[in-house]
Amino acid sequence: MILSNIEMQKAIDERRLIITPDPQPRTPEHHDCPYDTTAVDLHLANALAVPQPGPYTFDLRKKGGIAAFLAKNSKQIIIPEEGYALKQGQFTLGTTVERVTLPLLPDGKSLAARIEGKSSLARCGLLVHFTAPTVHAGFDGTLTLEMINLGVVDISLFPGMAIAQLILEAVMGDTEANPSQFQGQSTPAGT
């Protein structure tokens, strides 16, 4: 079951969902309200990790080590105020400003989420977080965004722009902790 905007706000008030900073304003009378009927906007942080070509390969059969590999083989960029031009066909990793925490709670009160791109950006050719949208119950950290420009022109990325949306879902029953390798991440590479 997907949570409505009102139910998301109740979950925040009950600490079943923690988004830092807290999305404001909460009411749609405000032009800049981040809540849609069934999603809340997330914003692009000021750092990007741009994977660099090189004479290396990554063996995807190996467990873990993805974050370290990406950090080692990516150019770290701080987005200037005038924006970062994502070139046609270019892939980059970003992260959300918001830290999302989905506490494990008893009695079926836990939440999970999906992070999805925004249709307004997709119409320009910008795919945001186009794979693995699940944010599991128990996750705590910023969310890494896989972004690629499939459009016909460069697209400017700005720190603080609404870049993705979070959709919350109820988890049926109790859960057992199984933290991912990206638990607590705070960089685009996942470290």
Q: Are 130 and 148 in contact (CB under 8 A)?
A: yes
CA distance 29 to 15: 25
Is 7 annotated as catalytic? Answer: no
**Lookup: tokens for 130:** 């186009």
Cα Rg of the chain (Å, integer): 17
CA distance 188 to 76: 9
Phi, psi of 11 (to 5 degrees): -60, -35
Active-site residue, selected from the candidate residues 7, 29, 82, 146: 146
Catalytic annotation, residues: 146
